[in-house]
Amino acid sequence: MSILATRVDQLGREQFAAQYAGVELSDGGVVVYRKPAAEFDQAVRALNLPGAVELRDAPYAAGELQALADRIAHDIPYWQGRGFTISSVGPLQDGTAVEVGTPEPDKLAPLLPERYGAEPPVRVLPMGPVVPAGG
């Protein structure tokens, strides 16, 4: 992550956790995803970053999504006991959803809202099991 993104990420996580969703690099700058908040926008601008800064709205803050991701990760043994492999889980940096990777996306996807609710949403993607290096 570039120094630009690192500075924004640190500011967001430390001082604006209720608004900050994530950051990604763009051509010559960063895109900052956040729940709209004038104070946060002003704080980002006050960083005087040398590249372009684009502020984009996000429906959820990183902490909200991370809490759901942590619940799902904690439940991996539960899902394994029901015959499902969860290969990855984590919040999307654009603040839209939690992403879950599994070899059985079509079977697992309808079960997740039953267990965790519909908000924040979970996006299920096809992904094979994680194989350790040399394994």
pLDDT one-digit tens code per residue, 42-79 = 999 999 988 899 999 999 999 999 999 999 999 999 99
pLDDT of amino acid 133:
67
3-state secondary structure of 67: helix
Q: Give this prediction's pTM.
A: 0.88
Q: With CA atoms as reference, report the closest residue to 22 among 125, 73, 89, 91.
A: 91
Q: What is the mean pLDDT of each run of 10 residues along the chain (135 residues)?
A: 88 98 92 97 94 95 98 98 97 98 97 96 86 64
pLDDT of amino acid 128:
72
pLDDT of amino acid 41:
97
Contact 72, 89 (CB under 8 A): yes
Q: Where are the domains of the chain?
A: 3-57, 62-126
3-state secondary structure of 76: helix
Q: With CA atoms as reference, report the closest residue to 126 among 79, 84, 78, 64.
A: 84
Q: Token pair of 14, please?
A: 């430390």
pLDDT of amino acid 3:
87
Largest Cα span, the chain: 51
pLDDT of amino acid 112:
97
